[in-house]
Amino acid sequence: MHAITPSLPTPAPGKRALYVLDGGMGTTLQAPPFNLALDSALWSSELLASQSGRDQLVRLHDTWIEAGADIVQTCTYQSTLPLFLPASDLESPQAHSTALKTMTAALPVAAQSASSAPQGSGSQPRRARVALSLGPYGSSLSPGQEYTGAYPPPFGPSETAARDAKPGCSQQALEACPLPLEQISPAENHSATADDEAERYLAAWHLQRLQQFSSSAEWSSEIDILAFETVPSLAEIRAIRRAMHAFTASRDGAAAVPFYISLVFPRTSDSDSAVRFPDPALAHLVTLQDQMPLLVQTALGSLGSDYARPGGLGFNCTSPLHAKRVVGLLSRHVRDQLAQSGSGSDDAAADAEKPWLFVYPDGGAVYDVVSRSWHHPTGLTDSSWAALVADAVADAVPPVPAALAQGEATGTPWAGVVVGGCCKAGPSAIKALRQEVEKRQWR
């Protein structure tokens, strides 16, 4: 099955296929000059409910683009329809319509900034790309479980579920928005396991959000990439691929929207000495090096005809101190995966099968749950953070198109690279990252 590759502009003459993503939305809105108190289950998405809140989001998107971002993400990471439903009116069609309109307002808000972005000092508008931010199921739980993957049944096995995790909304709100389970067909290529029910429910959960967001008028004209982010388990990787297959198959010939899957690699201890994929099902694989072959196979390999293949793979909300090692392991096993699938050569056909690499680590800060504050044990500045991110992808960035035209081997398993930031990576960090990639003549 061919990948649904990201729709990104052709690099300028002499430049490489590398683009800059924005940074951490919620933590930036909580910091100066916004200074917003965001404490609901929707976090930054609560701003969508008012015109003043939407104006703040436009201001934020503009800030990212002014800092040098080529791609801005929508304010939708934690958005699910039940969270937008008013507790006093869960059943009426008008309540559902209003909630859906509020949730999908994030799309025109991002599009407004992207369509009016200036291109350098010229007068012609430059259209930044828009990525629909889609957090994992764990982002809808309280407390959030995107860094553990310890989901409660039926979204995960009971034996590994976090004891205190529960939906961020009421049971009545969930019942008012039943999942489209009947649209997720049985898995084909693996025998029944304890993960099967979890995978089916997760696929239905992701499919429902895709269906809801696609009701927006801006879906076809303004959304360039679907960003499935902070994914913490193999079952959810498979579920996303199944959801994308079911969604694309139901669109009656409409063009498929490109998507990528971004994993998360939390620290294994407070010492920040190592990171690993948090899936409880992989507890027997102690190190990231042990885990990576299975992660890449699950994300990019052939799982059956009901699984769409993403056009990009990467990670977010991971310490920048470990970004280079994670990229190295990803690159090694993606190259192996391409070779196994017959796409390992450097001809044009093989290059068309290569995925994009997405790397947007956190800003290097650590959150203290006792003091409820952030601190910087590594002492990273914006410029040193930007250098770490650029160093991490240096070997992954493809050569300039002219070199490819002359038959030069790419030396990389990636079609292109997107770099940015996550939590605590603000506009000044993205500006520093843009300056870093331009200094290296990648842009």
Binding residue positions? 317, 422-423
Nearest to 214 by CA among 243, 176, 172, 181: 243
DSSP state of 118: B
187's torsion region: left (phi>0), alpha (psi -120 to 50) or beta? beta
Sequence-separated (6 or more) residues with CB below 8 Å from residue 269: none
Q: How far apart are CA 38 and CA 51, in angstroms?
A: 16
Beta-bridge partner residues of 63? none
DSSP for 357-389, please give it: EEEE---S-EEETTTTEEE-TT---HHHHHHHH
In degrees and rounded to multiples of 5, residue 19 shows phi and psi of -135, 155
Give the residue ranges of the annotated binding site for Zn(2+).
317, 422-423
Cβ of 284: how many Cβ atoms within 10 Å?
Answer: 7
Residue 93: alpha-carbon gap to chain centroid: 31
The torsion of the CA quartet 238, 239, 240, 243, rounded to 10 degrees, works out to 130
How crowded is residue 49: how many other Cβ atoms within 10 Å of its Cβ?
17
Nearest in space to 142 (alpha carbons), one of 270, 269, 39, 268: 39
Task: List phi, psi (to 5°) of 238.
Answer: -60, -40
Q: What is the dihedral of CA 180, 181, 184, 188, to 10 degrees?
A: 170
Q: How far apart are CA 111 and CA 117, in angstroms?
A: 10
**Smallest Cα–Cα separation from 313: which of 423, 228, 224?**
228
Distance CA 365, CA 385 (A): 11
Q: Is-cis flag, bond preceding 143, omega within 30?
A: yes
CA distance 209 to 243: 10
Tokens matching residue 282: 């992989």
Say how far apart CA 25 and CA 340 lie, in whole Å: 38
